[in-house]
Structure 1
């Protein structure tokens, strides 16, 4: 069973399943994160929705590039979780199926192409404190990059 994090689904509300590919990007003791300025400022694992007809690894590479400007190598699947959310950019409620990989950022090919996103480096411990999503924090713990966790 895929664990659920966050809010309980609203009774009577229909949710559209939205699969997504996300990355924990680690190099030289730091994580490459994305800082989304709008609709509200927050730090996130780079990633996003898997488009219809797109494979998860293809989506992972595309989303990381869009949100950070980096290419990546050696993705290793860590796990999945789900959460329920309203997606204001799309105008619907979603059951987000978040698939997470650990990968290495290799080369910055340019600035992020996703509007209102900036790439930033930080320690895994700082990223853990700043991530607003309990599922992302659980995956970061699972990666073993946070001191004192497996």
Structure 2
């Protein structure tokens, strides 16, 4: 995803009351991209401190999954987000959060083990 400010990040967000991790991920991807996802595979959990304006850094506790993009079922509801595909060689350069970089690199490793292309 890319924001209007030009920052790149993975789709995701906070868990709402009564929602599990998978439900949260599906909802957030749908809101940010308009797409459903399928074939989820847990990559791992990673944490990273995120800078906050005029506040102490916030600890982001991320749960990361590989998933297939399924059908587009709606237009994104998050107006400042756009899907942008980036070359895998540019992940560390473009993704804002270090734990997102870790998750993508780990996901690429899983795909290589399965014999799939990046």
- The aligned counterpart of 2:76 is 112
Q: 1:60 aligns with which of 12, 17, 25?
A: 25
Alignment length (residue pairs): 112
Q: 1:48 aligns with which of 3, 7, 13?
A: 13
Cα RMSD for the two superposed structures: 2.6
Q: TM-score, normalised by structure 2?
A: 0.79
Q: Deviations over 1:32-62 (max 9, x none)?
A: xx1111xx32111111111122100000000
Contact 1:75–1:103 under 8 Å retained in 2: yes
Q: 2:3 aligns with which of 36, 40, 47?
A: 36
Separation in 1, partners of 2:43, 2:68: 14
Please state how far the C-alpha of 1:87 moved relative to its aligned partner. 5.4
Separation in 1, partners of 2:105, 2:93: 12
Contact 1:67–1:118 under 8 Å retained in 2: yes
Q: TM-score, normalised by structure 1?
A: 0.64
- The aligned counterpart of 2:89 is 125
Q: Runs of 4+ in structure 1 displaced over 6 angstroms?
A: none
- The aligned counterpart of 2:48 is 83
Unmatched 5+ stretches in structure 1: 1-33
